[in-house]
Chain A
Amino acid sequence: MSTYTIPVGPLHVALEEPMYFRVEVEGETIVGLELTAGHVHRGIEYLAMKRNIYQNLTLLERVCSLCSNNHPFTYCMALEKIAGIQIPERAEYLRVIADEIKRIASHLFNIAMLAHIIGFDSLFMHVMELREIVQDIKETIYGNRMDLAANCIGGVRYDLSEEKIKYLARQLDNLKKPLEEITRIYMNNKFVRARTEGVGILPKDEALRYGVVGPVARGSGINNDVRVKSPYAAYDKLKVNVQVETGCDVKARALVRLREIQEAINIIQHCLKEIPDGPTCIDYLPEIPAGEAVAKSEAPRGELIYYLRTNGSDIPERIKWRVPTYMNWEALKVMMPGNKVADIPLIINSIDPCISCTER
């Protein structure tokens, strides 16, 4: 059989973001893969070094829309580490709530995209409709559907009144039953199973070798959740059950995400019960001394690491990210070969690539 090289991307109907793949195929089977990145470079790293620490809160939130809470969150943690700020306990819980709400919305989006890519559009719309509940939560509590602007240096910028706590609890209850329903569909539905089972296999040893993070790693049986391994904010006071699947395929990753949504709902409910009274932010403008710090958090896609160096002025000297998609897309080289051409978008979607994070 003859070998062909086909280009997929950078603009392709089934890919949501620009990424260029050179796929070598033999007949209909993929035998090789080459990745070329760098199509949406926005120079945010440079911009961040031109703006002061407050302006960066807003700028970094716009690095990516789906993990938009984790960027300022991790940035604030790095700053607080440099300045030695202890944030109020209530703020820690509120940060966790914001984080988990974003996680639910992000995972539901990826789950919906899976249905869309395999051509099950009615399921896609059903899941997106479910996600609308979470969008309404965000809009009501934070005032925006994507960029929450929840974090500030030394705490959070929002507070939950009794009324809002009730609203949040009610909306989460509304989410539960339909979520169980769609979890069953993703597990049992004949069409979903036919397209996702045994597709894009990433064995555990390869997953370890590539150092993948987030649901991709957990779909291959690796328990590497930052929330448990090195707790931040209020996670050390909360019980986080890490969802691990051993299927190593597209389906396993989808199930990890679905179960994590369930887990996130539990975490938020736990937070709402435990949340202490008190201030939500430090009551002075912090002074940031010269220093450097690394902070990390579990973004919806995996471990997000921030390196930050300051020089005493309020403009950072250096900001460096390591985003989850870096490791995950290298692992595509293992996932792709042996699969059919039609599965390319499906496998790419299964690592939940965040090109805007990765290329800034």
Chain B
Amino acid sequence: MSSFLKIALRNLFKSPTTDPYPFGETFVPEGLRGKAKYNAGACIACRMCEHVCAGGAIQIREVADKSGLEFILWHNTCTFCGLCEYYCPTKAIRLTEDYHTAHRQEDKYRYVEKGFIKYVNCAGCGTPMVPISPELLQRAYEHVNKEIEMLRHLCPKCRQKRALR
């Protein structure tokens, strides 16, 4: 018993190990997997996040008037696994360090992360298409010159025509 008595006495004079959380600071390391944040500007609507989301928390669908795509992430269904962030090619979705998920019952269905990707018209033929984000260009070409920048505004068909010319 004496062996443990020593430890018990030592622990008695140590400060508490637990954080005084609501009244004081708590330990939040960098890189904690908290609530997801979405950046519609970088998104290319490849739907990989929707595909890998185990909980089915992410939905990307066309809005009723067909003017663009709507991104919805239900925080209550999210498991904070971070697969969406990992597989997102442009890092349009990332997990923040914000782990506070308490909310009122009446806000249950409004507790979502939303984003809207407005279709743009192709500079060549005018068909509506998902805009190509600068993040994707950065990923595809290391140095983006004017020529490549112009491709951004063309739909796949027009791009093909341009390449064959």
Contact = CB atoms under 8 A, between A and B. Distances in A.
Interface of A: 51-52, 54-59, 61-62, 122-123, 126, 129, 132, 136, 139-144, 147, 149, 152, 157, 181, 184-185, 188-191
Q: Interface on chain B toward A: helix, strand, loop, or mixed SS?
A: loop
Nearest to A72: B81
Contact of A54 (B8, B17, B33, B51): B51
Interface residues of B, number: 26
Contacts of A147: 79, 81
Nearest to A285: B87
Interface of B: 1, 3-4, 7-8, 11, 17, 27, 29-33, 51-55, 79-83, 86-87, 95
A184 B52 CA distance: 47
Contacts of B7: 126, 181, 185
Q: Interface on chain A toward B: helix, strand, loop, or mixed SS?
A: helix
- 3 tightest Cβ-Cβ pairs between the two chains A and B: A58-B54, A143-B33, A54-B52
Contacts of A141: 31
Contacts of A152: 83, 86
Given A58-B81, A122-B8, A139-B29, A157 B86 contact: yes
Contact of A140 (B31, B51, B87): B31
A143 B95 contact: yes
Given A56-B54, A58-B83, A152-B83, 7 more contacts: A54-B87, A122-B4, A126-B4, A140-B31, A149-B82, A157-B86, A181-B7
Given A54-B51, A185-B4, A144 B27 contact: no
9 contacts: A55-B53, A57-B81, A58-B79, A62-B79, A122-B4, A129-B17, A136-B27, A140-B30, A149-B82
B1 to A, nearest CB: 6
A152 B86 CA distance: 9
Given A122-B8, A139-B27, A55 B82 contact: no
B90 to A, nearest CB: 15
A181 B27 CA distance: 27
A126 B11 contact: yes
Contacts of B79: 58, 62, 147
A122 B6 CA distance: 12
Contacts of A184: 3
B1 A143 contact: no
A152 B4 CA distance: 43
A142 B4 CA distance: 33
A143 B83 CA distance: 13
B27 to A, nearest CB: 7
Contacts of A61: 81
Contacts of B53: 55
Contacts of A55: 52-54, 83
A143 B29 contact: yes
A109 B81 CA distance: 23
A56 B87 CA distance: 14
Contact of B31 (A58, A143, A185): A143
A61 B30 CA distance: 22
Contacts of A132: 17
A188 B4 CA distance: 10
B4 A144 contact: no
Nearest to B56: A55
B11 A149 contact: no
A152 B55 CA distance: 17
B54 A189 contact: no
A129 B27 CA distance: 15
Contact of A149 (B3, B17, B30, B81): B81
B3 to A, nearest CB: 5
Contact of B29 (A51, A129, A140, A191): A140
Contacts of B31: 140-141, 143
A31 B30 CA distance: 55
